[in-house]
Amino acid sequence: MTSLTRSSVILRRRPVGEPKIDDFEMAQDAIPTPGEGQVVTRTLWLSVDPYMRGRLSDQKSYAAPVQIGAPMEGEGIGEVIASGDPAFAVGDIVLGTRLWQSHVLCKAAGLVKLDPSAAPIQAYLGVLGMPGTTAYSGMKDIGQVKQGETVVVSAASGAVGSVAGQLAKRAGARVVGVAGGPDKCLWVQEVLHFDECIDHRGGDVAGMLADACPNGVDVYFENVGGAVQQAVFGLLNPHARMIMCGMVAEYNNTERAPGPNLMSVVRNRIRIEGLIVSDKPERFAEWRAIASPWVKDGSLHYRETVIDGLENAPDALVQLLRGRNFGKMLVRVA
């Protein structure tokens, strides 16, 4: 144990619009001792994800909001430093801690022991974890891409979008990404081998998308909302599928912007479906089994943005919601 004191990132108040660093504060207490069936972990990595904006708000959602005065919640990886469960030994690396704390007391059940030799452990928060599984489930359960179809993926360099598009390429589709800025677009085209990538900061998104999708759009993997959504919506083909994974461009809005008129949904028999990965928990292990060899052989590409220090986790979230990350946003804690 490196310290007897535990640090936590606490929600100080609910953000209005864009979250600010001082909506959070640090707090200290003593490192707890595990009871029976519990372990205490030293946090190594925290995942920072767009969905977290929703947890900061008080509105009804699929998960309860984080309470004011309570530690922020989110996926993490830790090392067991004290165990009250015979299945876990000190030194085990585990996935499944759920708090922005330097040391987490948690139930042993539900933790997944990681093999640090199989992949860099932080990959289990990104390409092999929740975001990767989200992409996999969206494509398998809703997208069902067929060879020769056109697939558009927004936030294409992100933790979810980069996997979604690579899966669509493996299925034989024409894949068009949308990303923010030339660096991301270059990576999406040159490394991920999407057929095209459009810079949504680069002007006439609707026109560029129409040019990039001469046969219309069969599947839209939606991560952003806003103007990109409106532009893709107008290109959807008969029997198109729209995988509603997120709308990060609108998460900080205090009022909901109008959406697309749904007349074309009737005319084109479009299917629009929301996706929350935890609805199908079996997809996590499925995806780890499918994707681990691809990560090992280097055929599944991913990027990470790493911020150091638990105290910088709120800033990592603010930057993520501004699109300042490049790939999976991570906080390295220990």
Nearer to a copy of itself, 106 or 139 (CB): 139
The interface region with a copy of itself, picked from 34-42, 178-186, 274-282, 316-324 by CB under 8 A, is 274-282
Judged by CB under 8 A, the number of residues near a copy of itself is 32
Three-state secondary-structure class, residue 274: strand
Asked if 300 and 327 touch (Cβ cutoff 8 Å), the reply is no
Pick from 26, 27, 119, 272 the residue near a copy of itself by CB under 8 A: 272
* x/- track of binding to a copy of itself for residues 140-169 (CB under 8 A): ------------------------------
* Structure tokens, 153: 């993926």
- Rounded to the nearest whole angstrom, what is the least distance from the CB of residue 260 to a copy of itself in the complex? 5
4 binds a copy of itself (CB under 8 A): no
Rounded alpha-carbon distances, angstroms, from residue 254 to 15, 17, 165, 191, 223: 10, 6, 31, 37, 19
The interface region with a copy of itself, picked from 70-78, 128-136, 197-205, 240-248 by CB under 8 A, is 240-248
271 binds a copy of itself (CB under 8 A): yes
- Rounded to the nearest whole angstrom, what is the least distance from the CB of residue 226 to a copy of itself in the complex? 10
Distance of alpha carbon 181 from the chain centroid:
19
Q: Tokens 């979810």 sit at which residue?
A: 160
- Rounded to the nearest whole angstrom, what is the least distance from the CB of residue 31 to a copy of itself in the complex? 36
DSSP 8-class letter at 156:
T
- Rounded to the nearest whole angstrom, what is the least distance from the CB of residue 269 to a copy of itself in the complex? 4
Asked if 100 and 71 touch (Cβ cutoff 8 Å), the reply is yes
Site for a copy of itself in 188-227 (CB under 8 A): 225
- Give the residue from 189, 186, 175 showing the smallest Cα distance to 135: 175
Site for a copy of itself in 47-106 (CB under 8 A): 54, 61-62
279 binds a copy of itself (CB under 8 A): yes
* x/- track of binding to a copy of itself for residues 247-266 (CB under 8 A): x--x-----xxxxxxxx-xx
* Structure tokens, 300: 């599944």
> What pairs with residue 74 in β-bridges?
none
Side-chain half-sphere CA neighbours of 312 within 13 A? 15
Question: How crowded is residue 279: how many other Cβ atoms within 10 Å of its Cβ?
Answer: 11
The interface region with a copy of itself, picked from 70-78, 170-178, 275-283, 296-304 by CB under 8 A, is 275-283
Angle at CA of residue 177, ends 46 and 228, nearest 5°: 90
Nearer to a copy of itself, 148 or 238 (CB): 238
Each as own residue / partner, the long-range contacts of residues 105-108 (CB below 8 Å, 24 or more positions apart, any chain) are: 105/32, 105/34, 105/38, 105/39, 105/40, 106/38, 106/39, 106/40, 106/41, 107/37, 107/38, 108/37, 108/38, 108/39, 108/83, 108/84
- Rounded to the nearest whole angstrom, what is the least distance from the CB of residue 96 to a copy of itself in the complex? 23
- Rounded to the nearest whole angstrom, what is the least distance from the CB of residue 251 to a copy of itself in the complex? 8
* Structure tokens, 325: 């990350």
- Rounded to the nearest whole angstrom, what is the least distance from the CB of residue 267 to a copy of itself in the complex? 5
DSSP 8-class letter at 31:
P
Q: Return residues touching a copy of itself (CB under 8 A).
A: 54, 61-62, 225, 229, 238, 244-247, 250, 256-263, 265-276, 279
